[in-house]
Amino acid sequence: MTATPNPEAPAGSPREYLHATLVDNLGLAVVTGQLAPHAVLSIEELEARYGVSRSVIREVIRVLSSLGLLASRRRLGTVVQPRSAWNLYDPHIIRWRLASESRLEQLRSLSELRSAVEPMAAKLAAIRASFTAASDLVSLSAQMWAAGHASDMDTFLRLDVLFHDHLLEASGNEMFAQLNSLVTEVLKGRIEHGLMPHSPNAKAMQFHVDVASAIQRRDGEAAHAAMTRIVDQSMVEMAVIWAKDHGTSRDMQ
């Protein structure tokens, strides 16, 4: 397994870049099963394979252990952990799973989580959002509409991420607000892995407008219903694109 550059690696010292790249490579190796659960890793072997110092290897192991991917065991060493031990909510693990063969499973899980959280967040936002927060959502939905009709996918994605981030924050539930990184990963993952239409679906754009409008007029039930339609539409789009490319939509249903 050869180390590959990580576009999100810090632009600091060579040591920081090497550390971030190795975290990315070993994390991906665990998530994809290249390093099987319960396998014992040798620090000496990792030093030789990647040509890095023992201190860098130890730092990387410490990071991956904090994510639940690795664990130190007395008389054994560093042991690869099964999925049940992973911190599945961490953005790093989500990103690695989206880059693996299990990306559809990951997207489905994230979409199901969104369907449980975001409609309620929209309903709460209709009750709790400040006038400024509600107006911001209306503005973002209008900008998304314009970017979508212009087929400006980069701008549309950026605005989409902001819209859902603002929505979760406007719910007034601090635990919902901290799920924004999960929603960001699923939205970005759809683009990066070809599970997004070349131009945004007109219905999906209208649903965002509907959510924002319902929140602004304090209609919780309408906001809940419109957000449910957004999540459902996302699942349908991914299933259709997956079926077209792979001959089946079963994995997304």
pLDDT one-digit tens code per residue, 105-114: 888 888 889 9
What is the band of 216 on the pLDDT scale with cuts at 50, 70, 90?
very high
CATH no. for 14-85: 1.10.10.10
pLDDT one-digit tens code per residue, 138-158: 999 999 999 999 989 889 989
Helix (H, G, I), strand (E, B) or coil at 158: helix
If residue 135 lies in a helix (H) or strand (E), which one and from where to where? Answer: helix 131-149
Q: Dig out the tokens for 62 from the structure.
A: 């410490």
Q: What's the pLDDT at 244? A: 64
Please report, for the chain, the start and end positions of each structural domain, with discontinuous segments joined by +. 14-85, 102-252
Q: What's the pLDDT at 212? A: 98
185 CB-contact burial (10 Å; exposed 0-12 / middle 13-18 / buried 19+): buried
Are the folds of 14-85 and 102-252 the same?
Answer: no
Neighbouring residues of 74: CB distance < 8 A, sequence distance ≥ 6? none
Mean pLDDT for the chain?
87
If residue 65 lies in a helix (H) or strand (E), which one and from where to where? Answer: helix 54-66
At the second CATH level, the architecture of 102-252 is Up-down Bundle (1.20)
